[in-house]
Amino acid sequence: MKKAILNLRPLEEKHLKKIQELAPDYTVVSSLKEAEDRSAIKAVYGWNTEDGQALIDDSASDVQWIQLASAGADYMDFDKLKNQKITLTNASGIHKFGIAESVFGMLLSYTRGIGYSIKMQAQSKWEPISSGQEMNGKTMLIVGAGEIGQQTAKLAQVFGMKTIGVNRSGRSVDYMDEQVTQRNLKEALFKADVVVNILPLTDETRNLFNLSLFREMKESAVFINVGRGQTVVTDDLMTALDEKYLAFAALDVVHQEPLPSDHPLYKREDVLLTPHISGNLDAYDESLFAIFEENLKAFAAGEDLPKNVVDYLAGY
């Protein structure tokens, strides 16, 4: 019986032809119902909790590789995947331009009074802000210095900002004027005018940004979260804003999504909320397939996958 790839993402005809070209020994099925034998499915493109979970829960499953459509993989059962010797790859890197641009969109909305002006326009009011902030000469602390962090730092330097990157190792990365380890995050916070959180969700990062860290920030600081909502203790963030430990927060992700309509974050003048849209792209599936294609070449040849392999121990 021919081996199969379970496809759980939209694929154009050109993509299907490319799969056939790279992996002629495989057929593509779009649901478990289409598969004559689940044990024939060796790879999964995309993910959903119905077909995907049912497949790996099946004792007859012989899945060897799953390509996620997201950069974050914290919703996957790492222990199960590791025990079944399944390689997991993510979509890390395809969001870097969109998310970095969103960071500056949110930041400038606050510093240049754009968000305020939109609110005044909706009320038919001509009420200029009393002053605006310039980013030139300010310092941005980027917590999570991967591809998105580096692209964010690149834009920050164009604005004339100093950049400080935070990662686990403290190794130098592009576009960072200074680099520190996550262990030294608390000591670095007081230097920053803008703190950008781009961390994945792991055991180490869950609830990392709590009241203790917010206390270390400048009273004028802006906190931006485009990483994972559960890396921030939301109640602590609101308390920090109330106590003026920082000035403003822009959140593309929150601890509970969708955020309930009665949550107090919605009504805060010192918080900008965007509904987890910073990673949206106009060519998402094209960008994702490029990762899948590179990995498929290696997979079909029986080689180790070269792109975006998730480290189960690190959690990303």
Q: Mind telling me the catalytic residues?
A: 228, 257, 276
Q: Classify residue 174 by its DSSP letter.
A: T
Give CA–CA dist 181/78, Å, rounded: 25
Closest CA to 164 of 188, 146, 200: 188
- Report the b/e string of 167-177 with b at 16+ CB within 10 A: beeeeebebbe
Q: Is 105 exposed, middle or buried (0-12, 13-18, 19+ CB in 10 A)?
A: middle
Give CA–CA dist 68/46, Å, rounded: 5
Residue 193 contacts residue 216 (beta carbons within 8 Å): no
Closest CA to 7 of 90, 67, 62: 67
Q: What's the 3-state SS for 252-288?
A: CCCCCCCCCCCCHHHHCCCEEECCCCCCCCCCHHHHH
Give CA–CA dist 142/84, Å, rounded: 36
